[in-house]
Amino acid sequence: MAVTLEKIVPFGRSLDEYRRMVSLSDTDLGGKIVGVGDGPASFNAEMHGLGNIVVSVDPVYQLSAGEIEGQFYAVVDKIIEQVRASQEDWVWSYHRSPDALKEARVEVARNFFEDYERGKREGRYVVGELPCLEFGDRHYDLALCSHLLFLYSDHLNYEFHLAAILEMLRVAAEVRIFPLLTLSLARSPYVERMVGELEDRGMSVEIVEVDYELQRGGNEMMWVRPGVGRLSTG
Ligand SMILES: C[S@@+](CC[C@H](N)C(=O)[O-])C[C@H]1O[C@@H](n2cnc3c(N)ncnc32)[C@H](O)[C@@H]1O
């Protein structure tokens, strides 16, 4: 087993990692994006620096920067040690080693902490949680969810996943979710059933290979759009 975690941890990734994980094009980056469960990722901070629009939603944003920082540093060494002990389960191409991975995660978190209080005041970091989001219908072009759904299949049941995806599809024109593996590196047991159920509800669902793989075998995202699945008459 690659990593075991008792609860969902605030661990974050960079804009470049987001671009790769969910195949964001320049056109995608110019749209209105909601990042659900962004935690201490620097995606929002970096996007803001480039003049792009991202709102991040996470229950952890009810905490201060110092409190999130405390949670991050309480788990980072333990996670890196688990990764170091299972190095063959990881692909060392983007991040070259467990030490480089730790450095990258710490740098991302620092960028997030620097931006966090100002971003909160500007409404870019919003307290909220799946499966209910406080946005109007189709408020966003794109909803992203990285390292929450499917990854934590042992913590969040199938019904939660379905409700969460339908809710993201309510607030955004499309949804992209990465990865499709669980913490133990198996494909989430919910993926196949979810594809079938979403298609039965008329959605178009694609499993897309992406240019990012850290968990070995974890280089796929789920791309969901409304209206062109099995129930479509078009
Ligand atoms: C492992 S972090 C991933 C952070 C970021 N998406 C990334 O990939 O870098 C998972 C995040 O999901 C958040 N989370 C947990 N339950 C949630 C829920 N029901 N709705 C939205 N976010 C949630 C946690 O607070 C945490 O910040």
Kindly report, residue by residue over 176-204, the tens digit of the pLDDT.
999 999 999 999 999 999 999 999 999 99
User: What pTM did the predictor assign?
Assistant: 0.96
Q: How far is the CA of 89 from the centre of ligand 1 (A)?
A: 22
Look at ligand 1, atom 22, and give the residue with the nearest C-alpha: 37
How confident is the model at residue 231, as a pLDDT?
59
How confident is the model at residue 229, as a pLDDT?
62
Q: Which residue reads 């070995």 in tokens?
A: 216
How confident is the model at residue 4, as a pLDDT?
72
Please say if the pLDDT value at position 233 is more than 60.
no
Domain 15-225 maps to which CATH number in 3.20.20.70, 3.40.50.720, 3.40.50.150, 3.40.50.261?
A: 3.40.50.150
Residue spans of the domains in the chain: they are 15-225
Share of the chain above pLDDT 70, in %: 96
Please say if the pLDDT value at position 230 is more than 70.
no
How confident is the model at residue 228, as a pLDDT?
63
DSSP letter for 188, please: P
Q: How far is the CA of 234 from the centre of ligand 1 (A)?
A: 36
**181/219 Cα distance (integer angstroms):** 9
The reply to whether ligand 1 has any atom less than 6 angstroms from the CB of 147 is: yes
Share of the chain above pLDDT 90, in %: 91
Express each pLDDT in 111-161 by its tens digit: 999 999 999 999 999 999 999 999 999 999 999 999 999 999 999 999 999
- Specify the pairing of strand 32-36 against strand 53-57: parallel
How confident is the model at residue 234, as a pLDDT?
44
Q: How far is the CA of 165 from the centre of ligand 1 (A)?
A: 14
pLDDT grade for 3, boundaries at 50, 70 and 90: confident
Q: Are 164 and 56 in contact (CB under 8 A)?
A: no
Q: Are 43 and 14 in contact (CB under 8 A)?
A: yes
Express each pLDDT in 70-106 by its tens digit: 999 999 999 999 999 999 999 999 999 999 999 999 9
**In 3D, which of 77, 72, 91 has the Cα closest to residue 11?**
72
Q: Which of 13, 22, 148 to mutate to test the pocket of ligand 1 (most atoms within 8 A of CB)?
A: 148
CB proximity list for 165: less than 8 A, separation 6 or greater: 149, 175, 177, 194, 198, 224
